[in-house]
Amino acid sequence: MSTTEEAGLSTAAAEHSPGPGEADGIAARARGLTKAYGSGETTVLALDSVDVDITRGRFTAVMGPSGSGKSTLMHCLAGLDTVSAGQVWLGDTEITGLKDRELTRLRRDRIGFMFQSFNLIPTLNAAENITLPMDIAGRQPDRKWLDQVIDTLGLRDRLTHRPSQLSGGQQQRVACARALASRPELIFADEPTGNLDSRAGLEVLGFLRRAVDELGQTVVMVTHDPGAAAHSDLVLFLADGRIVDTMERPTAEAVLERMRLFAGASPQDPTPGTVRSGVDDAPAARTGED
Ligand SMILES: Nc1ncnc2c1ncn2[C@@H]1O[C@H](COP(=O)(O)OP(=O)(O)OP(=O)(O)O)[C@@H](O)[C@H]1O
């Protein structure tokens, strides 16, 4: 049985474009998402017909070996990169086909980003860094929400500090607050703990978890670290540009074990299926057994 059938979705349903309302509960969706770099003999297929649903209010981790397509998936879902084929929606908005200017506005208004390098402006203090994207957009922050974010992230007494006066963990917390400030539909975090020592990394992961649990945010995090992935609700495993497996309520040990299996296993032909980041159906979408 194909993974799509196992997931309770007919192939026709998986290929069907969602209309308004159907995407309820889905923060981002991709169908047949394909990304090739280069041309001719040098073509690299970074994503190979990926179907995925990112459920709202959940913390999803994306794992896989180097070069498996994690960053490309994130960039295509976030409208940071064009796709070669397939469709991507943010909520009910199809972003594939949007013009650059529309994409820029959509990213600014509806998506928050966190990167490995915190990307803070050194001459601005923490408070100014947090509201910078909204200031650029000419939007007034919702003070109540912003206060809640600042308190949740424990930044109240650091707001007047510049990045150089903050620890790495504190700087990433500011970057996290900046990503949350406009209450985006979706937060993408690319290796957010990659530049932090383990204690500061744990702290940032704890805050991302709270952003989901207490503030109702949706987070997608790319990581190499099984310990970081263990903070998520669902792990998507990528290999050779395909989602080959998922894991609900992951533990670091189970994720590590799964990664070892992939590293040791001979490349098989994982049938790509529609993978929903919902609690009920994701286990059925697994292509491998526990
Ligand atoms: N701009 C580009 N030009 C050409 N090839 C690219 C480009 N970006 C990515 N690739 C290739 O696409 C594939 C997927 O890359 P991607 O960066 O998405 O993988 P990744 O899983 O995020 O890797 P890593 O864990 O090392 O960051 C790789 O083979 C990579 O070399």
Q: Walk me through the domains of the chain, giving residue ranges and CATH numbers.
A: 56-79+98-272 (3.40.50.300)
Q: Residue with the nearest Cα to atom 17 of ligand 1?
A: 71
Q: Please enumerate, as own/partner, the contacts of 255-259 that have beta carbons within 8 Å and a separation of 24 or more.
A: 255/63, 255/226, 255/229, 255/230, 256/226, 258/288, 259/63, 259/65, 259/226
pLDDT band at 274 (very low <50, low <70, confident <90, very high): low
- In the reported structure, the alpha carbon of residue 214 is separated from the centroid of ligand 1 by a whole-number distance in angstroms of 34
Q: Residue with the nearest Cα to atom 6 of ligand 1?
A: 37
Q: Residue with the nearest Cα to atom 7 of ligand 1?
A: 37
pLDDT at 83 over 70: yes
Pocket of ligand 1 (CB under 6 A): 37-38, 44, 46, 64, 66-72
pLDDT band at 31 (very low <50, low <70, confident <90, very high): very high
| Residue among 33, 34, 37, 50 to mutate when testing ligand 1 (max atoms within 8 A of CB) | 37
138 phi-psi bin (left φ>0, alpha ψ -120 to 50, beta other): left
pLDDT of res. 12: 32
Please state the length of the chain.
290
pLDDT of res. 69: 96
